[in-house]
Each structure stands twice: as C-alpha cells, then as structure tokens.
Amino acid sequence: MYYPKIQIDLKKLEHNVKTIIDLCKKKDIEVAGVTKVFCGHPEIAKAYIDGGVSYLADSRIENLIKLKDYKLPKILLRLPMISEVEKVVEYADISLNSEIETIKELSRASVEKGKIHKIILMVDLGDLREGYFDEYELYKGSEEILKLEGIELLGLGTNLTCYGGVIPSQKNLRRLVEMGKTIEERYNIKLNIISGGNSSSLHLLLKDNKIEGINMLRLGESLVLGLETAYGNRIENTYDDVFQLEVEIIEIKEKPSLPTGEIGRDAFGKVPSFEDKGIRKRMIVAIGKQDVDFDTVILQDAGVTILGGSSDHLILDGTDSEVDYKVGDKLWFKLSYGGILSIMTSEYVKKEII
C-alpha cells in the first residue's frame, strides 16, 4: 500500500463516455476525447476508446506520444511550437493552428516525412484565447494553406469559455459555420470538420437538442466529471467520482484554533488570519500544496473541514465528524477538474486504476 493515491474507476469513466457520446451521435457530432487532464495515461485513454470516441486529443505532444500505439487519429490541441513541428507531424494526425508561419514549418516537416498533416484552423469568436479574430485574415490564411504541400485543410474550430468565459451559443457558433461555408464556396473545397468547442458547448445539446452545423466537439471535463461546463450543471446518468483521492492521517490532536505567539508570514508568504472556535480535534493528512490546490478537493466526509496547510501537509478539522478517526486511517476526496489535473501530474501520488 502506498499513499496518497488517486483511484481511477475505468468502468465509471467508460459509462460517462458512452452516455455523452450517445447524446452527440444522435446529432451527428463526433467526439474527440481529451486526455490532458490525466496526462495522456494510456490505460485511462482506453476507457475513452471503449466508450466510443472518434479521436484522441491532447494539448501536449508528450501525452500524444504515450498514446501512439492506439489507431485512432490524434489531435494536438495546443497550437504547435515551431520548435516541435517534427514531433507534431510524427505523432499527431491533426493539429489546431492559427499561425501561417507554423503551418509552413509543419508543411516542410510533413513533406520530409512523406506524410499529410491535417489542420483545423482556429477561429476566435470572442473568448480571446487562440484563433483568427479577423475574418479577412482567416480567409487569407486558408488560401495560403491550400497552396502548401503535405498539408490538408481539414476544417475550422473554435474554443470558448477558457479565457474570457464566453459561453457558446447557437449565435456565435453559427458565425463559425458561416465562415466554413464561405471558405468552401470561395475555394471550391469541402471542409470535413467544424469543431464547435469543448465541454462548455454541451449545454446547447442538452437545452436546444442541437448545434446547427457543428460536427465535432472536443471533450475532457464532461467525460471525466459528468459536467457541462458553461453553467456547471450535471449531465444525467453520469458519475462525478471517476477519480477519487485517498490520503492517510499522520497526526490527530486536540489543539486551540488560534496560534500561540506573534503572527508573521506563513510558508507561502501570506499573513494568515484565524477564527477562535476553542479547542478543536485537528488532523493532518499526508498531502500538500505541492500536489494539489486545496480549493479543488472535496471531502467525502461532510463532517470534516479543511483548515489549510503547507507544501506537504493538509490540516483538517475533524471535531464535527461522526467518525472516530485514528492515526493511519484514510480519508477520501472527490476532485474538481483542476484537482484531477494537478494530482495526476504529481509524481508523489500513486495512480491506482480499477
């Protein structure tokens, strides 16, 4: 036994994937399963494949390399760095792009390897992360791409609710679809993919039962947590506890709730403040800020609350719990998206797949 550990239930994950793919398939929308939240772990990605995703997608090429033995087409989500184009054409079939300089380098690398690399051009519909904001530049970019060897213009994509918090709507996505049509007519080509965003676009399917003109979504959080992320609502018939964290108690003591002595800065340079609740049963568990932000973990025992902690310690108040915890006992947490991401990235947390 080794703690802390994160337990990943592949049956639950596959169930979530199937539920959401069912929803999308009815509307002819293909799903790219986004693997970045679990660092492209191949065994976990297998649950995506068994659940029926059409593509595997990740923001980092290192993660796509881990997935290289799977046959499904792979998408690099983050705009490629020019310094990594060789790897990109080797390990990704498709990449999201918005810079013609980079696409020219992808073309060169792709020709060298005798490959065809596919491009989804990104359009910024107002969220202000990646993509062409200016329509004229988008058309100019498309025209240039069509002249390049070793490159195929596969379609258009957009990303919303990531930086600016802009919520996908039938209206803003219609602009993307229209731009796609303009490119098809102007250059007499067919665009195979109009990729309408991430888990935040699912609310449109749930509410309006359609997303006109969109035939692909790139989904991560909705698959792992069963959430549509525009408003944070649960998707029916999904699990929110595919990933669970288990940590061990290393100290339990009755202590006052106010520190003794003059208060300076804590380990992270902040001056802390405290509320006097008298003597409390305090517990320390062996996990810390180096592993996870405490705002992203949710205790399964609602009687226990988080007091704070430092890089390697999480301090809890167990006074109100019905459980009589002993040193060495374990506590379970659910995790939000950011929690899963950082716990999966921490080499100190064991990954247990069930």
Q: Is 220 in the site for ligand PLP (CB under 6 A)?
A: yes
Could you say which of 84, 221, 228, 246 contacts ligand PLP (CB under 6 A)? Answer: 221
- 94 vs 96 by CB, closer to ligand PLP: 96
- 37 vs 314 by CB, closer to ligand PLP: 37
- Asked whether the beta carbons of 37 and 57 are under 8 A apart, the reply is no
How many whole angstroms separate alpha carbon 55 and alpha carbon 354?
24
Could you say which of 35, 222, 244, 296 contacts ligand PLP (CB under 6 A)? Answer: 222
> Binding string to ligand PLP for residues 24 to 43, with x set by CB under 6 A, is what?
----------x-x-------
- 229 vs 244 by CB, closer to ligand PLP: 229
How many whole angstroms separate alpha carbon 116 and alpha carbon 90?
10
Instruction: List, in order, residues 6 or more apart from 238 with CB less than 8 Å away.
Output: 15, 16, 19, 20, 225, 226
**DSSP state string for 101-169:** HHHHHHHHHHHHTT--EEEEEEE-SSS-SSSB-SHHHHHHHHHHHHT-TTEEEEEEEE--SSSS-PPP-
∠ CA 226-232-234, rounded to 5°: 40
**Considering only residues 121-160, where is the footprint of ligand PLP by CB under 6 A?**
159
- 94 vs 284 by CB, closer to ligand PLP: 94
- 196 vs 288 by CB, closer to ligand PLP: 196
Could you say which of 35, 158, 229, 336 contacts ligand PLP (CB under 6 A)? Answer: 229
Q: Give the count of beta carbons closer than 10 Å to the beta carbon of residue 65.
A: 15
Element (H, E) at 344: helix 337-345
DSSP state of 17: H
Question: By Cβ distance, which residue is nearest to ligand PLP?
Answer: 220
> Binding string to ligand PLP for residues 41 to 80, with x set by CB under 6 A, is what?
------------------x-----------------x---
Q: Is 219 in the site for ligand PLP (CB under 6 A)?
A: yes
Shortest reach from residue 71's CB to ligand PLP, in Å: 21
For the chain, how many helices (H) and strands (E)? 10, 16
∠ CA 87-92-95, rounded to 5°: 105
Instruction: List, in order, residues 6 or more apart from 215 with CB less than 8 Å away.
Output: 28, 29, 30, 193, 194, 195
27, 36, 87, 210: which is the annotated catalytic residue?
36
Residue span binding ligand PLP (CB under 6 A) among the ranges 5-13, 14-22, 217-225, 341-349: 217-225
Q: Is 351 a catalytic residue?
A: no
Binding site for ligand PLP (CB under 6 A): 34, 36, 59, 77, 96, 159, 198-199, 218-222, 229
Catalytic positions, written as ranges: 36
